[in-house]
Amino acid sequence: MRVTTKLTVPIVFLLSAGCSSAVDDSSEGVATVSDDNPFYTESTQPYQLPPFDRIDESHFLPAFERGMAEQLAEVSAISEQIAPPTFENTLVPLERSGVLLNRVAATFFNLSSADTNEALDQIRAEVAPMLASHTDQILLNGRLFDRVSSLYEQGETLGLNDESLRLVERHYVDFVRAGALLSEAEQQRMQEINGEMAALQTTFTQNVLDGVNAAAIVVDGHDQLAGLPEGQVAAAAAAATSRGLDGKYVIALLNTSGQPPLSALDNRSLRERIMRGSLARGSEDGEYDNREVITRLAELRAERAVMLGYPNHAAYILDEQTAQTVTAVNERLASLVPPAVANANREAADLQAMASADTGDVELAAWDWSYYTEKVRAARYDFDASELRPYLEIDAVIEKGVFYAATQLYGITFEARSDLTPYHPDVRVWEVFDHDGTPLGLFLGDFYARPSKRGGAWMSAYVTQSQLLDTTPVIANHLNITKPVDGEPTLLTFDEVETMFHEFGHALHGFFSDVEYPYFAGTAVPRDFVEYPSQVNEMWATWPEVLANYAIHYETGEPMPKVLLDKVLETAAFNQGFATTEYLAASLLDQAWHQLTADQVPAPQDVATFEASALQEAGVGLAVVPPRYRSTYFSHIWGSGYSAGYYSYIWAEVLDADSVEWFKENGGLRRENGDHFRRTLLSKGGSVDAMDLFRAFRGAEPNIDPLLVRRGLN
C-alpha cells in the first residue's frame, strides 16, 4: 500500500481529511521554541533527509503552526494581487507555497505511523483539525478560487504545455470538490464536517494501534506452541519478557483478520483464541471501541457528498478514479464473486476432508483454514512452505532480489549509507543511483514490526521529486516482519518476500518521477491506479533469474533446489479462492459503508449486524472466510486514504496481469523493457491521465483475461 505524506496544496487534505477550527494567520505567538527548531530551515543532510537526531517531539507543534501561518501568508499574497491572474503569478507560487509545512508534515506523519509514542499521538490528535482548517482556508478562499477559475476558463488559450495545463485543470477540480462553489453557510458546514472527520480519523488510527497491541495473545506454556517454528517461539518469549511476563509467550497480532501463526499452530483452541481475538478488535465496549467512530465517519462522509452533488461518498470518491462510477465498481466486484466463492467452497471441501482425516469429527472453522491449507499443500504438492524460509534470508532478498531485479531492469544501483542517522535503529538507508551514476535519492528500509508501528506494509515519502522545487526523492518502505532474537537470522515467508517487491514497486514509482510540479510527483495518481506499478514489480519475485539469485540457503550458501523452486511456481495459484474471497469481502464491505446515505448508517451497536448483512447480500458471507479486514479495524478506509477505494487492488490487478503478459511477450527482465515502462509510465507521475499512461505503455486497452487466469476465475 502506498501512503502519501505530501502536503502541497491541495494534497494537504489527504493527511487531514477535513477541516474546522480557525488558525491564526498572523506571526504573533507562532514560534513557541527558539529558532533552532530543525524544521525552520532546510535540512543539510543529503537529499534533505530529516535530521532525526536533532528532532524532538517539542519541535513539531510550533513548526506546524509556523508552517501553516507562512503558507496562509503566501496564499494571501497570491489571492490579493491586483494584477490579473496568470499561470506564473497564481499557480506557480501556489505550487511553491508551504515548504515548511510540507517539511514538518512529511516527517511527522511518517513517524506517527512508523514509530509513534504517546507524545506524537497527542500531537496528531491536536494537529489534525488544525490542518483540516488550514486546508479549508486555502480551498475555500474565494479570491484565490476566482483566479484559478479564470485560468481554467481560459484553458488552452493560455498557451501552456501539457503538464502546466493539466495543473490548472486539477487545481480547479480540487477547489470545486472542496466546496468552492457552495454558499457561505454551506462552506461553514463543510468546515465543521471536515474538522470532525479529521479528529475521528485520528481517533480511529490510534484505537487500531493500541487495540492490536492490547489484543496480543498471552500463552502460558511452551507446549501450547507446538508446530510454531522455534525462531517464532523465541520471539514470542522475548515479546512476553518485554511486557514483564517472564516465562510466558506473547503472540502479537497483525492488523488483518487472519494471523500468520494460524498456519502452524497445532493447538486448535489456541488458534481459535487468536482468530476470535483478532476479529473482535474495535467492536467491543471499552477504550478501543471503534463502532461509534466509524458510524459517525460514515454519516459525515455521506452528508458531505450530498452537499457536493453526489448521491453518496462512494460516488464522490470514484468520480476522480479511473473507475469513475459506482456502477463500474459494483459490476466488476460482482462479476468476480461467483467464481471466487466457488473456488473457496471447493478449497473448503478439501480442507474439511483433511481436518476430518486428521482429528475425526471436526467442522472446519475460520481458525482452521490456514492450518489445513498447509497440510493440503504438503499432501498435494509434497511441499511444506516452511522449507522455503532458510532460502529467504532478509539481506539476500533485499540486495540479491529486490535490488538485483531493479538493476537488471532499470540499471539503477544502491549504496548503503550507514553514516546517515535514521529515525529508529532498525531502519537502514541506501543511496540510489541511476544507470549513468546520477543520484536518484535515498531509500529507507523499515522492515521490522514493533509496538510503536502501525500494521501492514506501505511506502511513503519524506521528500518528493520536483523540477520546480529542485528536490530529489527520499522514500521509505515499511513492513511488519517479526524480528528474531539477537543473533538469529531473519528468515522470511514467501508472502513477505512478495510484499517487499510490491512496496519497492511503489518506491520505484517515486524515484523515477520526472515532473515539473510537486502536485504530480511520483505516486500522486488515482487511488485505483497507484497499486498497479507496485503489483507489476511483484512478478520479479518469482522470475527464475531473480529467484535463483536471492534464494540461497543462509547457512550453506546452496541455491534453492530446482524441485523446491518449481514447487514455488507450481503452487502460486494455490488457495486463490480464499485469497480472492477474503479480499472481495473487504472491498464489498467498504462499498457497502460508503454507498449509504446519512440516514441509512446503522447505530454503533448494529455495526456487526450491518456488516454480516452486507456480506451476505453480496454473496461473500462465508463464516470460514472472514473479510481480510472487519469494519472496526479496516484502517485503509477509516484511517487512511482508501475510503470507497479498497477495490483498487483488484482493479489495478487487471492492468498488472496484462502488463506482466507484455513483459513475458517481450523477453522479461531486459533493460529495454524496464526503460520502456519507466519512460512511458513510471516517470510521468500524475502529469498525464492514468489510463493514457497505461495505453502508452501497453499499446492497447487493458485485457481482463490474464487476471482471470491468474486467480483461477476463468
DSSP string, 252-293: PPPSSSS-GGGGT---HHHHHHHHHHHHHTTSSSSTT--HHH
33-44 pLDDT per residue, tens: 457 899 999 999
Round to whole Å and give the CA distance between 118 and 621: 38
Determine the pLDDT at residue 5.
37
Q: Beta partners for 446?
A: 478
8 Å CB contact between 31 and 63 = no
8 Å CB contact between 492 and 481 = yes
Pairing type for strands 474-481 and 439-448 reads parallel
Determine the pLDDT at residue 31.
38
Determine the pLDDT at residue 308.
97
In the predicted model, residues of the chain with pLDDT beneath 50 are 2-33
Round to whole Å and give the CA distance between 236 and 241: 9
Q: What is the dihedral of CA 615, 618, 620, 623, to 10 degrees?
A: 30
Task: Report the 10 Å Cβ neighbour count for 294.
Answer: 25
493-507 pLDDT per residue, tens: 999 999 999 999 999
DSSP 491: B
Nearest-10 crossing angle of helices 142-154, 57-79:
60
Task: Report the 10 Å Cβ neighbour count for 118.
Answer: 9
Determine the pLDDT at residue 1.
59
Round to whole Å and give the CA distance between 644 and 592: 9
Determine the pLDDT at residue 19.
27
Q: Is 503 a catalytic residue?
A: yes
DSSP conformation letters of 12-72: THHHH-S--S----SSTT---S-TT-GGGS---SGGG---GGG--HHHHHHHHHHHHHHHH
Round to whole Å and give the CA distance between 500 and 251: 23
Q: How far is CA 34 from CA 107, 130, 314, 430, 588, in A?
A: 19, 22, 46, 33, 51
Please report which helix (H) or strand (E) contains residue 107, including its range. helix 99-114
Whole-prediction pTM value? 0.91
Task: Report the 10 Å Cβ neighbour count for 286.
Answer: 10
CA atoms within 13 A on the CB side of 157: 5
Q: Beta partners for 476?
A: 444, 460
Q: How far is CA 579 from CA 416, 574, 586, in A?
A: 36, 9, 11
Round to whole Å and give the CA distance between 329 and 576: 21
Determine the pLDDT at residue 534.
97
Distance separating the N- and C-terminal Cα atoms of the chain:
27
Which of 503, 516, 531, 538 does the annotation list as catalytic?
A: 503
Cβ-proximal residues to 632 (8 Å cutoff; 6+ apart), any chain: 281, 282, 283, 289, 290, 291, 294, 607
Round to whole Å and give the CA distance between 635 and 456: 9
8 Å CB contact between 478 and 113 = yes
- Spatial CA neighbour of 239 closest among 456, 484, 490: 484
Instruction: Return the HEC string of 565-596.
Output: HHHHHHCCCCCHHHHHHHHHHHHHHHHHHHCC
DSSP 97: -
Buried/exposed 523-556: b ≥16 CB within 10 Å, e otherwise:
bbbbbbbbbbbbbbbbbbbbbeebbebbbbebee
Determine the pLDDT at residue 109.
95
